[in-house]
């Protein structure tokens, strides 16, 4: 037995399944699936692709070549890749194709809550969901078997709870890597093409056409029928009072709080095993559905005509983010004691790491009241109310096009700036830049080049100087690409050269043409940059105006001294000596 | 009577070594043959957020990865604002081990909200639970940096309280931390033993 978290277990499953190609894009909570696969199983080709759509397309191509392939992403990333999934769903699969998708249930990592199972309904493809690390490994292997047997992509849904929970996994150290290759179809067109040919074309019975056809509804019906006998769907008939249909970690919450309940625990949440559901419904007086996230199993079960209690009792998103044992106890255990959190405990807003280049940019935008959009980047912390540097922030890669839209609507009279990280730029932001050039827009873009995807823990991007498949000659230069796209005015500046950076941003905003400011400074946390001398605050000179605190630096805090008096202090363990706070102080109280 | 298992919440803020703490403790319980589930709910820990780890060991398979409020045997906390957040989760006879270290929340720093007027240490002491308070300022040592190694100090205190083998625990520390940090960590561990031996009689 080995202790593994869910991400480690999925990576192990990929190894045991003989996966040849793993691609995808980082995103909490599932980033580490790829990190572990790359570190531990060098036999598997791994790549962080430029975005999730590209990642999934790579996996689809590898699958067509006959090899087992996996694409990893978080659910918001699958929104980006959904078009690719739609093309693969319903078409013939050669090598098994599995999407490992991380659902941030409970918004533990901070997403709005999306539920990947919607894609199972929308594209008519199976979804598997583990409830602990052992199952994460086992279902990974099973997902490939189902993919090949029923000729369909399969989604393995993992959640922030599964990803971050460590439990024992049975590991056979004698298992060696054996690449799994399978050749079946010479062609595989998207179901749109096949069904068009089958339904509309005269002579569609021609063998050259029929070999393209994939009767995917029949495969799904067969899978649904077979799933009644799958050992990953477990019917535990106990007491007759309460029955629960559940999946994932809510299975364990249910077992703990309702030890006498009869339970149907689904390892495959889509399609549903109808016979088992009816068997449980007949066995119990009351049948509940306990599922994290949206009411997806519940609706599908109600569609079968089976009476179940779900959101009538357990309000779903957005009223409830995720199940906990406490919620089940409160609703289903009479006289359960009520326990409440102490009132008035202050909450913790996220702040940036000390010395982060984003702090410099946020500070300049705020000082000069420049209107700007942030992206999905560490810099989005600048949107929070203690900083208020940005007034707009949406999805990954969006800020450039958001700013362009604002500027064309306001006839370019206000210069709205788009700030984007290097990760967001390569992911989809580059499309926004190309778009504004050929549409003759005069927007300003700030690209923060910190040499990695900092927010998810420092994975490499196209302009990094490291990476799984890194070669110096293949490194993409942001400035060169901007130039080739046709940006007229490009300036590159070091984030810590405050006056130069300020000048560069102000010039870019004033510029009559489109402009890009590339702000360079490697991520302080990922690259552990050498620290300068720590700064400190002279309490005699400090007026407690808190301009330094509003920078949003982790190292600056207000503290009650031993005499009970509040002081603004710099934590010298955290301070990296970047000096930004000293530029904010009007009273010359901050010095190194 | 044999210990059939306990539920522990380990709390603090990013950078305090909570994950290392739960990792070291898990190795000890694995050696004893217990079943384990450890849920590390990280949040935005690296950026000044709260961190909590739900640590469960048992002679029977552990079910829920999260400990239900009211089922916590021990709360081990490295930051006292975070201690307050979990007090209601303790069993009637649950025990609190808390550092008096405090990292002012960003919301208070920026005056988005007011801090609690009461002393947090007093609130913990008055919680009606058995409490063991450790003040890092009083226990500073030239041999190691207690602001970075409170996790190891706490590990020693917990081991002493539970009557576990310090020899084995120190061996786990030796095997688990990078070589250049071993000496400092062992000094911290020894400090934890001496704090515990001097003051644990209060519990």
Q: Alpha-carbon Rg of chain A, whole angstroms?
A: 27
How far apart are the CA of A252 and the nearest CA of chain B, in angstroms?
5
Q: What is the pLDDT of residue A224?
A: 98
- Sheet with A165-169: list strands edge to edge: A2-5, A165-169, B35-41, B50-58, B5-13, B72-77, B90-99, B130-134
What part of B 12-51 touches A (C-beta under 8 Å)? 13, 26, 30, 35-44, 46-50
What part of A 108-137 touches B (C-beta under 8 Å)? 108-110, 132
Evaluate whether residue B53 is within a structural domain: yes
What's the domain count of chain B? Answer: 1
Give the three-state DSSP class for B20. helix
What's the CATH code of the domain at B29?
Answer: 3.40.920.10
Which member of A339, A344, A350 has the closest CB to residue B88? Answer: A339
SS3 letters across B111-161 = CCCCCCCCCHHHHHHCCCCEEEEECCCCCCECCECHHHHHHHHHHHHHHHH
Q: What is the ipTM of this complex?
A: 0.94
Residues from chain B contacting residue A349 (CB–CB below 8 Å): 48, 105-107, 110, 112
Which member of A108, A168, A326 has the closest CB to residue B69? Answer: A326
pLDDT tens, residue by residue, A500-525: 999 999 999 999 899 999 999 999 99
Q: Which residue of A has its CA nearest to B54?
A: A165
Higher pLDDT, A485 or A384: A485
Q: How confident is the model at residue B147 (pLDDT cuts 50, 70, 90)?
A: confident
Task: Name which of A554, A524, A535, A370 is nearest B110 in CA terms.
Answer: A554
A257/B147 Cβ within 8 A: no
Name the DSSP letter for residue A345: P
Q: What is the pLDDT of residue A188?
A: 87
Mean pLDDT score, B54-63? 97
A259 close contact with B: CB closer than 8 A: no
What part of A 286-325 touches B (C-beta under 8 Å)? 324-325
Residues from chain A contacting residue B115 (CB–CB below 8 Å): 346
Q: Which strand (E) or helix (H) includes residue B56? A: strand B50-58
Pairing of strands A234-236, A262-266: antiparallel
Detail the DSSP E strand segments found in A32-116. 45-48, 69-74, 97-103
Residues from chain A contacting residue B65 (CB–CB below 8 Å): 132, 161, 165, 167, 249, 252
Which member of B39, B88, B112 has the closest CB to residue A165? Answer: B39
Which member of A340, A353, A557 has the closest CB to residue B109? Answer: A557
pLDDT tens, residue by residue, A210-245: 777 888 999 999 999 999 999 999 999 999 999 999
Q: How confident is the model at residue B42 (pLDDT cuts 50, 70, 90)?
A: low
Q: By residue range, what is the domain housing residue B99?
A: 5-198
Evaluate whether residue B203 is within a structural domain: no
Q: How confident is the model at residue B45 (pLDDT cuts 50, 70, 90)?
A: very low
**Whole-angstrom distance between the N-terminal and C-terminal Cα of chain B?**
20
A3/B30 Cβ within 8 A: yes
Which member of A325, A347, A351 has the closest CB to residue B68? Answer: A325
What part of A 5-44 touches B (C-beta under 8 Å)? 5
Which member of B36, B89, B108 has the closest CB to residue A3? Answer: B36
B8 close contact with A: CB closer than 8 A: no
How far apart are the CA of A164 and the nearest CA of chain B, in angstroms?
5
Q: What is the pLDDT of residue A112?
A: 66
B35/A168 Cβ within 8 A: yes
* Token pair listed for A587: 């009273």
B49/A350 Cβ within 8 A: yes
Evaluate whether residue B96 is within a structural domain: yes
Cis ω for the linkage preceding A386 (within 30 of 0): no
CA B157/CA B134 separation, integer angstroms? 10
Mean pLDDT score, A97-114? 81
Backbone angles phi, psi at A535, to 5 degrees: -95, 160
**Is B100's pLDDT higher than 90?**
yes
**Is A365's pLDDT higher than 60?**
yes
Mean pLDDT score, A445-469? 96
Q: What is the pLDDT of residue A201?
A: 67
- Cα A319 to the chain's mean position, in Å? 22
Query: What's the whole-number average pLDDT of chain B?
Result: 93
B112/A386 Cβ within 8 A: yes
Question: Among all chains, which residue has been given the structure tokens 């707009």?
Answer: A392
Give the three-state DSSP class for B162. helix
Mean pLDDT score, A263-287? 98
Q: How confident is the model at residue A465 (pLDDT cuts 50, 70, 90)?
A: very high
Map out the domains of chain A with their CATH numbers: 2-169 (3.40.50.970), 233-332 (3.40.50.920), 357-520 (3.40.50.970), 536-591 (3.30.70)
Task: Name which of A447, A544, A554 is nearest A492 in CA terms.
Answer: A447
- Asked whether A529 and A495 are in contact (CB, 8 A), the reply is no
Q: What is the pLDDT of residue A464?
A: 97
Q: How many interchain CB pairs under 8 A, A with B?
A: 145
**Is B181's pLDDT higher than 80?**
yes
SS3 letters across A493-537 = EECCCHHHHHHHHHHHHHCCCCEEEEEECCCCCCCCCCCCCCCEE
A193 close contact with B: CB closer than 8 A: no
Residues from chain A contacting residue B101 (CB–CB below 8 Å): none
**Is A479's pLDDT higher than 60?**
yes
């Amino acid at each position: 037995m080995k202790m593994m978290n869910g991400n480690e277990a999925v990576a192990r499953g990929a190894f045991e399944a003989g996966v040849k190609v793993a691609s995808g894009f980082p995103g909490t909570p599932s980033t580490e699936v790829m990190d572990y696969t790359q570190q531990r199983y060098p036999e598997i080709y791994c790549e962080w692709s430029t975005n999730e759509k590209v990642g999934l397309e790579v996996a689809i191509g590898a699958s067509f070549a006959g090899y087992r392939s996996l694409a990893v992403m978080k659910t918001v990333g699958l929104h980006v890749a959904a078009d690719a999934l739609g093309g693969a769903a319903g078409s013939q699969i050669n090598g098994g194709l599995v999407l490992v998708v991380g659902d941030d249930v409970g918004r533990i990592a901070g997403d709005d809550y999306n539920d990947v199972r919607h894609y199972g309904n929308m594209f008519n493809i199976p979804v598997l969901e583990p409830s602990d690390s052992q199952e994460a490994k086992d279902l990974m292997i099973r997902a490939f078997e189902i993919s090949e047997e029923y000729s369909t992509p399969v989604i393995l849904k993992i959640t922030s709870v599964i990803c971050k929970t460590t439990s024992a996994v049975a590991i056979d150290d004698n298992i060696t890597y054996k690449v799994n290759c399978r050749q079946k179809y010479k062609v595989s067109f998207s179901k749109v093409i096949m069904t068009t040919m089958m339904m509309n074309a005269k002579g569609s019975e021609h063998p050259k056409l029929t070999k393209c056809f994939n009767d995917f509804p029949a495969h799904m019906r067969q899978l649904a029928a077979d799933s009644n006998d799958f050992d990953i769907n477990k019917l535990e008939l106990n007491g007759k009072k309460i029955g629960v249909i559940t999946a994932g970690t809510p299975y364990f919450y249910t077992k703990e709080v309702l030890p006498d309940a009869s339970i149907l625990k689904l390892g495959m949440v889509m399609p549903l095993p109808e016979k088992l559901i009816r068997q449980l419904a007949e066995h119990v007086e009351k049948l509940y559905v306990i599922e994290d996230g949206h009411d997806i199993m519940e609706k599908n079960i109600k569609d079968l005509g089976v009476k179940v209690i779900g959101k009538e009792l357990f309000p779903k998103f957005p009223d409830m983010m995720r199940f906990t044992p406490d919620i089940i106890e409160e609703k289903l255990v009479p006289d359960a004691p009520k326990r409440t959190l102490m009132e008035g405990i202050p909450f913790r807003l996220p702040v940036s790491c000390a010395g982060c280049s984003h702090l410099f940019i946020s500070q300049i935008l705020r000082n000069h009241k420049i209107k700007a959009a942030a992206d999905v980047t560490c810099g989005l912390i600048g949107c929070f109310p203690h900083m208020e540097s940005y007034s707009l922030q949406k999805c990954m890669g969006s800020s450039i096009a958001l700013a362009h839209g604002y500027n064309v609507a306001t006839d370019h009279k206000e210069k709205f700036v788009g700030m984007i990280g290097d990760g967001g730029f390569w992911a989809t932001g580059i499309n926004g830049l190309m778009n504004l050039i050929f549409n003759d827009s005069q927007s300003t873009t700030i690209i923060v080049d910190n040499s990695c995807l900092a927010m998810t823990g420092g994975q490499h991007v196209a302009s990094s100087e490291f990476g799984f498949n890194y070669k110096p000659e293949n490194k993409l230069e942001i400035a060169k690409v901007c130039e080739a796209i046709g940006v007229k005015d490009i300036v590159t500046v070091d984030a810590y050269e405050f006056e130069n950076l300020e000048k560069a941003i102000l010039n870019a905003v004033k510029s009559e043409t489109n402009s890009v400011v590339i702000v360079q400074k490697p991520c302080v946390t990922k690259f552990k940059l050498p620290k300068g001398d720590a700064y400190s605050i002279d309490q005699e000179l400090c007026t407690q105006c808190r301009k330094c605190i509003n920078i949003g630096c982790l190292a600056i805090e207000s503290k009650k001294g031993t005499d009970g008096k509040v002081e603004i202090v710099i934590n010298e363990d955290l301070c990296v000596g970047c000096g930004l706070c000293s530029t904010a102080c009007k009273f010359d109280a901050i010095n190194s | 009577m044999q210990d059939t298992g306990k539920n522990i919440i380990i709390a603090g803020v990013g950078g305090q070594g909570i994950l290392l703490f739960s990792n070291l403790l898990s190795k000890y319980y694995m050696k004893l043959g217990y079943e384990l589930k450890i849920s590390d709910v990280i949040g935005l820990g690296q950026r000044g957020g709260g961190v909590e780890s739900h640590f469960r060991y048992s002679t029977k398979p552990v079910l829920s990865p999260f400990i239900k409020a009211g089922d916590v045997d021990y709360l081990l906390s490295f930051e006292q604002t975070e201690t307050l957040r979990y007090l209601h989760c303790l069993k009637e006879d649950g025990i609190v081990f808390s550092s008096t270290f405090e990292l002012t929340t960003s919301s208070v720093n920026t005056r988005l909200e007011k801090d609690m007027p009461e002393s947090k240490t007093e609130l913990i002491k008055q919680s009606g639970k058995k409490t063991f308070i450790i003040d890092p300022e009083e226990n500073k040592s030239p041999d190691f940096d207690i602001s970075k190694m409170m996790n190891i100090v706490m590990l020693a205190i917990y081991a002493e309280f539970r009557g576990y083998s310090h020899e084995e625990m120190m061996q786990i520390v030796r095997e688990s931390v990078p070589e250049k940090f071993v000496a400092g960590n062992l000094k911290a561990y020894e400090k934890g033993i001496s704090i515990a031996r001097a003051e644990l009689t209060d519990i």
